A and B are shown apart, each in its own frame.
Chain A
């Protein structure tokens, strides 16, 4: 069964620095960090102390509310450091990697004969449970729940995002295994979306045992949230799970080989990268071992719309398969807005002239290009939101902390990433994603 979804609204941001399809190095990290802050809704309880020996797959932390949810080490070595922040908040557990590369053997499984309970047990034990994201709210999946269905997006439309057709070309059988595994967890099946542009060439069009969809359109067509809202919108009281394609492959690999292997190809992208390409690394790899940025450059774990600012001394996050480098735009520009032409800048609006050069890619920086104001123009939000909601009303409901209105206007259907383009296009320079994130946090608190 295959369904087509055609989306018109959205925007592909023309930014320079797409990664060439070559893997220039394989990083063998000296240290690896596991950051509990990567997982929304997880309150970590430490299970190790400094100096403890660990293997790939050994538990490091557990969730306080669900002690069966574990965070495990991606490498073998010893616990080198426990990093804490303000009020002793646990920020990271750093493992000094050894060169033995030993992994806990969970035992390979015959997927066809597995039961729901066995799948859950292995996912929890191996530490891969946390790769499941539960909607609404985009939080840690609750192991006691059986979701309506599972959704996977097999293509990426975010700016400069890693191309799964390249990064996971060798892992198609693991993706298939992952799909088969997750199919045990739900009665609604696994929904699997591929992009229309690569529908014939992608290795993932052969994936079986899924409800497949072909999606066309500009970003955010590749966002799983957008796909869900067109396939089966989330209603109040319903729960669905999503998983990113690289982590789905990791789940498949775990069940097929019995070992935790999180190694993945990372797209190193952006205008501030000299030779954008891929590197093979692990989540938790130190940023310095992946890139060597110049002065006045921002390191972003993820893409420019939703990514997290990483410090040069930081570590790559669990969900991140992209690093973007941007020049900081902390320079003033004479007569900026008043100049008739600003050929170095892109605008999706016809108030500038970038519509004259539709193929041009821009060296974008982090300048805000204006000052924060009240909402004035609001149609621009609808133009980049291919979901049947009223973005501006949802945002205002979030600002007003009005739960009834937030429900009405579709808070269950969106995560900040789905409205990330609203951040980008807003002439009033509001932080839409931050407002939405606060609204979601408020919902979680009040509905608990």
Chain B
């Protein structure tokens, strides 16, 4: 049926609806693998394509997203004292998180479509992932207009100006987060209602809305009980804490990490070295008295694990050499915890650490490649 709709001149060059051709192409290739055959080079090709790679990342994010939905409702129930059952919590959480996804995809995809149309290129599928990541790394109560502005900024200045997916220097989702963080600092950080949607109801006594990370940096760690404020280590691990939508549950993130590593979509080297870097600096800080938190708390707090698994491993903006990945990941983890412990201005350092290392990744690769080439040339000459 739609073959008849799209094939005639309507969407072709000179046709009345030519300005929509890229959009039509995008939908058609989304639904059906095109009949393109190989022209140059290898005559047969692997079944894998970027759409499949991207959808694997989205699938890996689903546990974190589902838990985020539950946790949004759960935190509201906890803070307002509402007596909700399991399904009610999920429904309320869903109603809070869904608008974030809608805004993220509608704004982002609209810009991507327009960009593809202007450049006359096929639509990049990179936004499938970016659009899913952004709602998961913002506080649940982010005003939607702020989110829309941040998404527009990230897609236009983070991606389109560089030439689209594969050409960008910084992780676009993190750029959106950074834009929010620096443009609307009063709405984005500290305590307050940004982390928990009270839905207009009064909060229970003692409600602060602060994340455990913020509580811990204010010295709220109880070493004897191993808890931060009213949150036990198990709460931190399973994720029943205030925080950005998808970043709280270690369990859900690890499930995603397993899938990504198994598929080879994300580099386990970056994940492992980032955790190692975080642990090492957390341990040094503990020894040096900069914090009373044992180092492993650094891994379960805030966006550390989510960043290590889903953001630092973006194949475009991370280091591309295998040795470079170790260095890059380690520095991401180490810097993130360094910011947490020694910078009173920011409670969370993951976002800044990853963006900084995104910037440095080409330099790391350059050093790794130059060294490898020099070493090999020397070996060959002496052999």
Min CB distance, A89 to chain B, in Å? 19
Beyond the given pairs A374-B166, A424-B42, 17 more chain A to chain B contacts, judged by CB atoms under 8 angstroms and listed by A's residue number, are A300-B43, A348-B48, A349-B48, A350-B264, A351-B56, A369-B48, A370-B33, A373-B124, A376-B166, A379-B264, A388-B376, A390-B369, A409-B369, A424-B46, A429-B49, A432-B41, A433-B42
Whether B33 lies near A423 (C-beta < 8 A) is no
Tell me if B47 and A342 are in contact (CB < 8 A): yes
Chain B residues near A332 (CB, 8 Å)?
A: 32-35
When the two chains form their complex, are residues A369 and B35 in contact, meaning their CB atoms are under 8 A apart?
Answer: no
Query: B369–A347 contact, CB under 8 A?
Result: no
**Chain B residues, Cβ within 8 Å of A373:** 50, 122, 124, 165-166
- Shortest CB–CB separation between residue A302 and chain B, in angstroms? 9
Which chain A positions have C-beta within 8 A of B53?
Answer: 351, 376-377, 427
Partner of B45, one of A335, A368, A375, A376: A368
The 10 closest A-B pairs by CB, nearest first: A370-B49, A374-B166, A336-B33, A423-B42, A345-B47, A433-B41, A347-B47, A423-B41, A337-B51, A333-B33
Docked CA distance A374–B250 (Å): 33
A348, B267: Cβ atoms closer than 8 Å = no
Report the number of A-B residue pairs with Cβ-Cβ less than 8 Å: 183
Among B44, B50, B124, B267, the residue within 8 A (CB) of A366 is B44
For B56, give the chain A residue with the smallest CB separation: A351
CB distance from B174 to the nearest CB of A (A): 17
Residue-wise interface mask of B (1-45) relative to A, using a CB-CB cutoff of 8 A (1 in contact, 0 not): 000000000000000000000000000010111111111111111
What residues of A have a CB within 8 angstroms of the CB of B55 in the complex? 337-338
- Across the interface, name the chain A residue whose C-beta is closest to B123: A371
A-B contact pairs, 13 of them (CB 8 A): A13-B44, A307-B43, A329-B37, A335-B31, A351-B263, A368-B38, A373-B165, A393-B369, A421-B42, A424-B42, A424-B45, A427-B46, A429-B45
Complex Cα–Cα for A359 and B376 (A):
37
Instruction: Kindly state whether residue B339 has any CB partner on chain A within 8 Å.
Output: no
| B61-82 CB contacts (< 8 Å) to partner A | none
Of B36, B40, B262, B315, which is within 8 A of A377 by CB?
A: B315
Neighbour of B263 across the interface among A233, A349, A428, CB < 8 A: A349
Is residue B372 contacting chain A, with contact meaning CB distance below 8 A?
A: yes
Report the minimum CB–CB distance from B379 to chain A (whole Å): 9
In the complex, what residues of A have CB within 8 A of residue B107's CB?
Answer: none
Chain B residues with Cβ under 8 A from A88's Cβ? none
Q: A291: CB under 8 A from chain B?
A: no
Closest to A370 in B: B49
Closest Cβ of chain A: how far from B65's Cβ, in Å? Answer: 18
**Taking the complex as formed, is A418 at the interface, i.e. its CB lies under 8 A from any CB of chain B?**
no
Report yes or no: A425 in contact with B48, Cβ–Cβ below 8 A.
yes
For the complex formed, measure the closest distance between the CB of A20 and the CB atoms of chain B, giving whole angstroms: 21
Give the contacting residue for B35; candidates A329, A351, A379; CB below 8 A.
A329
B316 beta carbon closer than 8 Å to chain A: yes
Q: B329 at the A/B interface (Cβ < 8 Å)?
A: no
A contact residues, total (Cβ < 8 Å): 73
Q: Flag A96-126 by CB within 8 Å of B: 1 or 0 each.
A: 0000000000000000000000000000000
Is B363 an interface residue when CB atoms closer than 8 A count as contact?
no
B42 touches A374 (CB 8 A): no
A 324-353 binary contact with B (CB < 8 Å = 1; else 0): 101011111111111000100111111110
Do the beta carbons of A334 and B31 come within 8 Å of each other? yes
- Chain A residues with Cβ below 8 Å from B267 are 379
The A-contacting residues of B in range 134-187, CB under 8 angstroms, are: 163-167
* CB atoms of A374 and B164 under 8 A apart: yes
Q: Do B43 and A298 have beta carbons less than 8 Å apart?
A: yes
User: Which chain A residues have a beta carbon within 8 Å of chain B's beta carbons?
Assistant: 13, 15, 159, 233, 235, 298, 300, 304-307, 309, 324, 326, 328-338, 342, 345-352, 354, 364-380, 382, 388, 390, 392-393, 408-409, 416, 420-421, 423-429, 431-434
- Nearest chain A residue, comparing its CB with the CB of B3: A332
In the complex the two chains form, what is the Cα distance from A305 to B38 in whole Å?
11
CA of A258 to CA of B27, assembled, Å: 65
Task: Report the bound CA distance from A149 to B317 in whole Å.
Answer: 43
A329 nearest CB across to chain B (Å): 5
Contact of B316 among A307, A352, A376 (CB under 8 A): A376
Which chain A residues border B322 with CB–CB below 8 Å? Answer: 379, 382
Asked if B44 and A364 make an inter-chain contact with CB atoms under 8 angstroms apart, the answer reads: yes
Chain B residue contacts of A393, Cβ below 8 A: 369
- B314 CB to closest chain A CB, in angstroms? 9
Q: Are A337 and B49 in contact (CB under 8 A)?
A: yes
The contact string, 1 if C-beta is below 8 Å from chain A, for chain B 223-256, is: 0000000000000000000000000000000000
* Most chain A CB inside 10 Å of its own CB: which residue of B34, B44, B369, B380: B44
Tell me whether A330 and B37 are in contact (CB under 8 A): yes
Residue contact B38 to A348, C-beta cutoff 8 Å = no
Cβ contact within 8 Å between A369 and B264: no
Complex contact B36–A367 (CB within 8 A) = yes
Contact between chains at A423 and B45 (CB < 8 Å): yes
Option from B126, B320, B373 in Cβ contact (under 8 Å) with A408: B373
Q: Nearest Cβ distance between residue B230 and chain A, in whole angstroms?
A: 42
Considering the chains assembled together, what is the distance between the CA atoms of A22 and B321 in angstroms? Answer: 46
Residues of B within 8 A of A305 (CB): 42-44
A374 and B167 in contact, given A390-B369, A434-B41 (Cβ under 8 angstroms)? yes
**Chain B minimum-CB-distance residue to A306:** B42
Contact across chains for B33 and A337 when beta carbons are under 8 A apart: yes
Whether B50 pairs with A428 at a CB distance below 8 angstroms is: yes
CB <8 Å contact, B320 and A378: yes
Complex Cα–Cα for A348 and B166 (A): 22
Is B263 in contact with A376, judged by CB distance below 8 angstroms?
A: no
> Which chain A residue lies CB-closest to B320?
A378
- B119 an interface residue at 8 Å Cβ cutoff? no
Residue of A nearest to B366 (CB): A393
Cβ–Cβ < 8 Å partners of A377 in chain B: 53, 265, 315
Q: Is B52 an interface residue (CB 8 A)?
A: yes
Partner of A350, one of B262, B320, B376, B380: B262
- Distance A428 CA – B321 CA, assembled complex (angstroms): 18
* Chain B residues within 8 Å of A354, by CB: 47
| Nearest CB of B to A407, in Å | 10
Q: Which residue of B lies closest to A419 (CB)?
A: B41
Residue among A305, A368, A378 with most chain B CB within 10 A:
A368
What chain B residues lie within 8 Å of A380 (beta carbons)?
264
A370 contacts which of B50, B265, B369 (Cβ < 8 Å)? B50
Q: How far is the CB of A381 from chain B (nearest CB, A)?
A: 10
Shortest distance in angstroms between A350's beta carbon and chain B's nearest beta carbon? 5
Given A379-B264, A433-B41, verify A425-B122 contact (CB < 8 Å).
no
| CB–CB B46/A428 < 8 A | no
Contacts of A416 in B (CB 8 A): 41
Residues of B within 8 A of A331 (CB): 35
- Docked pose: A233 CA to B373 CA in angstroms: 13
Residues of A close to B376: CB separation below 8 A: 388
Q: Which residue of A lies closest to B37 (CB)?
A: A366
Other-chain residue from A334, A390, A392 in contact with B372 (beta carbon distance below 8 A): A390
Question: How far apart are the CA atoms of A333 and B45 in the complex, in Å?
Answer: 15
B374 to chain A, nearest CB (A): 10
The smallest beta-carbon distance between B309 and chain A, in angstroms, is: 17
Contacts of B122 in A (CB 8 A): 371-373
Q: How far is the CA of A23 from the CA of B126 in the complex (A)?
A: 51
Residues of A within 8 A of B315 (CB): 376-379
CB distance from A215 to the nearest CB of B (A): 18
Q: Is the CB of A370 within 8 A of B263?
A: no
Q: Are A330 and B48 in contact (CB under 8 A)?
A: no
Residue contact A349 to B264, C-beta cutoff 8 Å = yes
Q: Judging by beta carbons under 8 Å apart, are A427 and B165 in contact? A: no
